Homo-oligomer: A and B are copies of this chain.
Amino acid sequence: MEVLEAIATTRAIRRFRPEPIPEADLATILFAASRAPSGSNRQLFRFLLLRDDETSRQAKALIGGVAREAWNAKRAHDGYDRGSGGDMSSPKARTAQAMQEFVDRYEEIPVNVLPCLIRHRAPNPGEGASIYPSCQNLLLAARALGYGGVITMWHAAVEPQLRELLAVPDGVGISACIPLGRPVGGHGPVRRRPLAELVYDGGWEKPAPWAVDPPGTRFAQAGPPKS
């Protein structure tokens, strides 16, 4: 698959078929992840996989449990069942249904990847430059092989239990949790705000009139569906 096409069609995938990912494909995906840059090329990224052994199943259950709690709270708090949420064809209702199915079936997702960072200094916002590029490589390679996933942060709510269960040492950050599998349905184009709203030239909010989206681009507002 051509790289620009892969980039333009690597969407967040939250509905998965239950079949496992062959190890050869996982190796290709993780090789791609490990090609990412990191600060001073220190390569302090590590990729901890949760698959089908007993410990991994326990870890996935911890994450699935907190994902359901977090989603149920958000569903109520953000009013997903009010307004257009009552119309099952609305974007809001479809988002809610997809999220509900995602968390309800979390433990069936064949693979979770925990991208971890061995910290050589105190936790700070810039450290992500040494771990999140690898996550994007991972998602793009998965896309190229017909898999999908999404960067999630639910694990943070059960991090003490996860660290103990998986023997993750002090000084190592668990930077995300990426469920991976074969998607139900296809990979449509990624939709974002128009490029003109995201690119500045020569100063903050200075327009970049050359920053035009390709012909036929469809846009999406930021954040979860409104109203």
Stoichiometry (number of copies): 2
A27 lies within 8 A of chain B by Cβ: yes
Q: Which of A179-216 contact B (CB under 8 A)?
A: 190, 192-193, 195, 198-205, 208, 210-214
B residues near A23, Cβ cutoff 8 Å: 210
A126 lies within 8 A of chain B by Cβ: yes
A7 lies within 8 A of chain B by Cβ: yes
A144 lies within 8 A of chain B by Cβ: yes
Q: Are B30 and A8 in contact (CB under 8 A)?
A: no
B residues near A166, Cβ cutoff 8 Å: 202-204
Q: Are B136 and A39 in contact (CB under 8 A)?
A: no
> Which residue of B5, B35, B126, B176 is within 8 Å of A190 (Cβ)?
B35
Residues of A within 8 A of B (CB): 1-8, 10, 12, 23-24, 26-28, 30-32, 34-37, 39-51, 53, 55-56, 116, 123-129, 131-137, 139-141, 143-144, 150-151, 153, 156, 165-169, 172-173, 175-176, 190, 192-193, 195, 198-205, 208, 210-214, 217, 220, 222-224
11 A-B pairs with CB atoms under 8 Å apart are A8-B32, A12-B37, A43-B193, A44-B222, A48-B201, A55-B202, A125-B127, A125-B128, A125-B173, A126-B176, A166-B203
Q: A49-B202, A123-B125 are in contact. Are A213 and B31 (CB under 8 A)?
A: yes
B residues near A31, Cβ cutoff 8 Å: 8, 195, 213-214, 217
